[in-house]
Amino acid sequence: MKSDVVGVHTFKLDQTPEAGSLILRTTFLDNGDKDHGLKPGLIINQNIVLQAGVNAASFNLIDSTLTPSALRLLADQIELAQCEAMAKLEKPLEK
Q: Tell me, what's the pLDDT at 51? A: 87
pLDDT tens per residue, range 62-73: 888 899 999 999
Task: Measure the CA–CA gap between 19 and 22, rounded to whole angstroms.
Answer: 9
For the chain, give the mean pLDDT.
88
Q: Tell me, what's the pLDDT at 7? A: 96
Q: Which domain holds residue 65?
A: 5-90
Residues whose CB is less than 8 angstroms from the CB of residue 3 and which lie 6 or more positions away in sequence, other chains included: 29, 30, 31, 32, 43
Q: Are 20 and 51 in contact (CB under 8 A)?
A: yes
Q: Tell me, what's the pLDDT at 77? A: 97
* 95 domain residue, yes or no: no
Q: What total of structural domains would you count in the chain?
A: 1
* 77 domain residue, yes or no: yes
Q: What is the pTM assigned to this prediction?
A: 0.75
* 23 domain residue, yes or no: yes
